[in-house]
A = this chain, B = another copy of it.
Amino acid sequence: MNTPRTRTPLIVAVVLAFTCPLQAQFGGQGPQVASPEVAADRHVTFRILAPKAESVLLAGSDIPDLGQGAQMKKDSNDVWEVTLGPIDAGAYRYNFNVDGVSVIDPRNPATSESNANTWSLVYVPGSDFMDTRNVPHGAVAKVTYWSTSLGRFRRMHVYTPPGYESGQGTYPVFYLLHGAFDCDDSWTSVGRAGFILDNLIAAGKAKPMVVVMPAGHTGPFTFGRRLPIDEFTKDFVGDIMPHIEKNYRVHTDKARRAIAGLSMGGAQTLSIAIPYPDKFGYVGVFSSGIFGIAGGMGGAPEGPSWEEQQKDILDGTELKKDLKLVWFATGKNDFLVQTSRASVEMLNKYGLDVVYKETDGAHTWTNWRNYLNEFAPQLFR
């Protein structure tokens, strides 16, 4: 690095004479509100300036004790405020409900994209596995590809580990699928996948790997309606995998390919890994299983069951060849715990030797980050 040849240049004030609405955002309208404010003791204060509102609620996902939301209180400056905590270290999605309108925090640029909306995101530090630490960091890229099966452009996120971008080596590849209320951004925003992998790799606990996070929804998602998992499978096998194998330096043998997913992504994982028995040596299912297997998940489908459809493969030898790990984890309070148990039992009936773990907690990102942190170290051994 050169030494600068002159003194540091003096730069004068920038009086940006914007006449555009940006000014409204930054001008002197009311008090400067800081939100969210994360205290050292892990209490988090949320604030929003809403002078005319009659009621402001805080809503969020996975924040302990928040439940259906917290009523915020207005101070003399028209700022609505609530403090929660102490909150466990982690990333949390939240938004405000101002008189019936869901809004993100106007003072917080950090967001986490979902399937049909965007949440504000707050990170509470203090975790030994997902904090941003002074270790080599990989890159998390947005990648656009053309889906021939869907006839439109699609996006995925791709994590490349430290060393990938400067080097020439070839890496194992791990496909990581999101849930029904998520999109391809979710695993690396609220899910902290990049930082979790960075920390595992730096500690020598996980092998450097490329992690591919596709978009799992192929159309509008409506609560309670049948998911078109077959559409996603076509996109995945016909476009996503070929795109990655053409554009990234990844291995293409079963022993160096893994797949996992949470909730909807777990069902998709099984709907790809079993029907394509030559592709994945490692299979992870988080808070999920074969939808419909345990009842209570909607009406029984017409025609043969999933098990009946896959019976030849489950009975055969190709699936088990080089199948290193089938790993399930679900929270004891997860609404899909029965589905997980029944799926594990069914797969074990065919000798798949599923490793099954029931943890505390429910259907939460808190659990899914933990599961990723446990699953990734077991890959490509």
Contact = CB atoms under 8 A, between A and B. Distances in A.
A59 interface: yes
Given A14-B291, A109-B183, A21 B278 contact: no
A22 B61 contact: yes
Given A1-B238, A104-B103, A12 B301 contact: yes
One complex includes copies of this chain to the number of: 2
Contacts of A227: 11, 13-14
A1 B310 CA distance: 19
A206 interface: no
B16 A309 contact: no
A47 to B, nearest CB: 12
Which residue of A18, A48, A109, A309 has the most chain B CB atoms within 10 A of its CB atom? A109
Interface in A4-23: 4-23
Interface stretch (A113-121, A349-357, A370-378): A113-121
Interface in A293-318: 296-306, 309-310, 312-313
Interface stretch (A38-46, A83-91, A92-100): A92-100
A248 B166 contact: yes
A141 B160 contact: yes
A14 B303 contact: no
A25 B101 contact: no
Contact of A25 (B16, B117, B226): B117
B104 A11 contact: no
B2 A279 contact: yes
Interface of A: 1-2, 4-27, 29, 48-54, 59-62, 66, 68-69, 97-104, 106-111, 113-118, 132, 134, 137, 139-146, 153, 158, 160, 162, 165-166, 168, 180-181, 183, 188, 194-195, 198, 223-230, 233, 237-238, 241-242, 246-249, 263-264, 267, 271, 275-279, 291-292, 296-306, 309-310, 312-313, 335, 363
18 contacts: A2-B237, A5-B313, A9-B271, A10-B305, A11-B226, A11-B228, A11-B229, A14-B227, A16-B335, A21-B61, A24-B68, A25-B114, A102-B106, A107-B116, A109-B115, A142-B188, A144-B198, A165-B247
